[in-house]
């Protein structure tokens, strides 16, 4: 056996890329390990701590010995709490057998994609999109069908664009609202337009990623599953990480038709089984508990959004929209393509992101990973002090390019 044979990995690993967000986080850590002060505007993680009543519930769960295996789709009491949440916040009626709890919303989405997509099935994804959607489709051996959008349309697609892409091979439509990386969210009227398209194409199932539901600034959140005929063909994905500052607890969940939930449970039973029992008990407390910390966090993010928009809009050559949710800006930075600083040439958004990291020590993410080759993703899930310092460095670094 040759050394090359020993180190050969499966083709599916070669087909997918490391998430750009995690790659930039690693590069930032490596610079910090060298003693360099890096302002990290790359990761989509709230800089708030988990609320105390949720942590107390986890401590209580440990003391009461909630430390054993759980059912694969999650504790019944948590699935019942999720049903209450769907009814309270989204006016959606689910039963516990339609709920599957997973190790984060990422696993929830992967479960659904792998349970529904066969080789050659087409999956429509509006761009920009969250980085992992495309890799999940690749792993399922599906065909990615992109619908591009730009800053001039506030990164939204239209029902006409959607219908144009649907074929007899279309199996899934995956989108997020509010959106990572753009912060765009679709209004109730806009989602109704999509629902009318899907009513004409009954073979299409929708995965609606609503993880940023509570970080919404300008309108009431709407779920596409709430429209006529849509609940029976929609996988509604949510979780605890963004709205409750529970990223490390790793709890995501779906509400879906029972046949899809059953398939996801079967798949999850072979991959991970049930997620952490203690995290599940904490999630129960979050879903049924005081929402004041979530509302306070949302208000803080809204203030940061206003600061970021003001500062970015004042920078020459930077185009920004007004994101209605999440905690990202996705500016068009293509005005800087073709410029340079010494030996450093800026031809792509990735070139610019690496220039900012290595020269200004500011971490942002190349927009190409999200389907936006002219853009950078900038997270404002950081303190106002760090945001101010990061944007100061960002502006000064841009000023050195000519």
pLDDT digits (tens, 9 = 90+) for 181-240: 999 999 999 999 999 999 999 999 999 999 999 999 988 999 999 999 999 999 999 999
SS3 69: coil
The confidence score (pLDDT) of residue 24 equals 79
Residues of the chain with CATH 3.90.1150.10: 3-49+293-399
- The answer to whether the beta carbons of residues 100 and 111 sit under 8 Å apart is yes
The confidence score (pLDDT) of residue 4 equals 60
The confidence score (pLDDT) of residue 3 equals 56
208: left (phi over 0), alpha (psi -120 to 50) or beta: beta
Q: Which ranges of the chain have pLDDT less than 50?
A: none
Rounded to whole angstroms, how far apart are CA atoms 362 and 41?
7
The confidence score (pLDDT) of residue 380 equals 97
The confidence score (pLDDT) of residue 2 equals 58
Contacts (Cβ under 8 Å, ≥6 apart) of 251: 101, 102, 103, 104, 239, 240, 241, 275, 276, 279, 280, 282, 283
Q: CB-based burial of residue 299 (10 Å sphere; 0-12 exposed, 13-18 middle, 19+ buried)? A: exposed
The DSSP bridge pattern shows strands 328-329 and 252-255 to be unpaired
**Residue 207: which of 120, 280, 106 has the closest Cα?**
106
Contacts (Cβ under 8 Å, ≥6 apart) of 231: 92, 225, 257
For residue 385, the tally of other CB atoms under 10 A from its CB is: 9
CATH for the stretch 3-49+293-399: 3.90.1150.10
CATH fold, domain 68-288, is: 3.40.640
Rounded to whole angstroms, how far apart are CA atoms 177 and 213?
7
The confidence score (pLDDT) of residue 5 equals 61
**Residue 327: which of 154, 131, 185 has the closest Cα?**
185
Residues of the chain with CATH 3.40.640.10: 68-288
* Secondary element (H or E) of residue 111: helix 105-116
For residue 33, the tally of other CB atoms under 10 A from its CB is: 8
The confidence score (pLDDT) of residue 36 equals 86
SS3 141: coil
Contacts (Cβ under 8 Å, ≥6 apart) of 156: 149, 184, 186, 190
DSSP state of 149: -
The confidence score (pLDDT) of residue 86 equals 98
């Amino acid at each position: 056996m040759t050394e090359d044979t020993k180190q050969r990995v499966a083709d599916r690993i070669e087909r997918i890329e490391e998430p750009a967000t995690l790659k930039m986080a690693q590069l930032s850590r490596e610079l910090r390990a060298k003693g360099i002060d890096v302002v990290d505007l790359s990761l989509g993680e709230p800089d708030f701590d988990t609320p105390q009543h949720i942590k107390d519930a986890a401590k209580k769960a440990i003391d009461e010995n909630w430390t054993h295996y759980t059912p694969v789709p999650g504790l019944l009491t948590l699935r019942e709490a999720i049903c209450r949440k769907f009814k309270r916040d989204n006016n959606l009626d689910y039963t516990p057998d339609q709920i599957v709890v997973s190790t984060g919303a990422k696993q929830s989405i992967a479960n659904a994609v792998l349970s529904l997509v066969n080789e050659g099935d087409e999956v429509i994804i509006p761009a920009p999109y969250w980085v992992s959607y495309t890799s999940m489709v690749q792993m399922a051996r599906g065909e990615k069908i992109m619908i591009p959008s730009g800053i001039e349309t506030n990164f939204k697609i239209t029902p006409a664009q959607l219908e144009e892409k649907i074929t007899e091979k279309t199996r899934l439509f995956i989108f997020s609202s509010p959106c990572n990386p753009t912060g765009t969210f679709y209004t109730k009227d806009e989602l109704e337009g999509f629902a009318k398209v899907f009513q004409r194409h009954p073979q299409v199932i929708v995965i609606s990623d609503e993880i940023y539901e509570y970080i919404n600034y300008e309108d009431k959140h709407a779920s596409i599953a709430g429209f006529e005929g849509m609940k029976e063909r929609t996988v509604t994905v949510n979780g605890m990480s963004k709205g409750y500052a529970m990223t490390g607890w790793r709890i995501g969940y779906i509400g879906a038709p029972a046949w899809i939930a059953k398939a996801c449970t079967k798949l999850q039973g072979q991959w991970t089984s049930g997620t952490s029992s203690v995290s599940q008990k904490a999630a129960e407390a979050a879903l049924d508990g005081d929402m004041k910390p979530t509302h306070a966090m949302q208000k803080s993010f809204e203030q940061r959004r206003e600061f970021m928009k003001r500062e970015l809009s004042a920078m020459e050559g930077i185009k920004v929209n007004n994101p209605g949710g999440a905690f990202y800006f996705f500016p068009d930075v293509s005005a800087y393509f073709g410029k340079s600083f010494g030996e450093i040439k800026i031809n792509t958004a990735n070139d610019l992101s690496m220039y900012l990291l290595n020269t200004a020590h500011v971490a942002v993410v190349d927009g190409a990973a999200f389907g936006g080759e002219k853009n950078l993703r900038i997270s404002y899930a950081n303190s106002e002090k760090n945001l101010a310092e990061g944007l100061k460095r960002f502006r000064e670094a841009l000023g050195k390019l000519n």
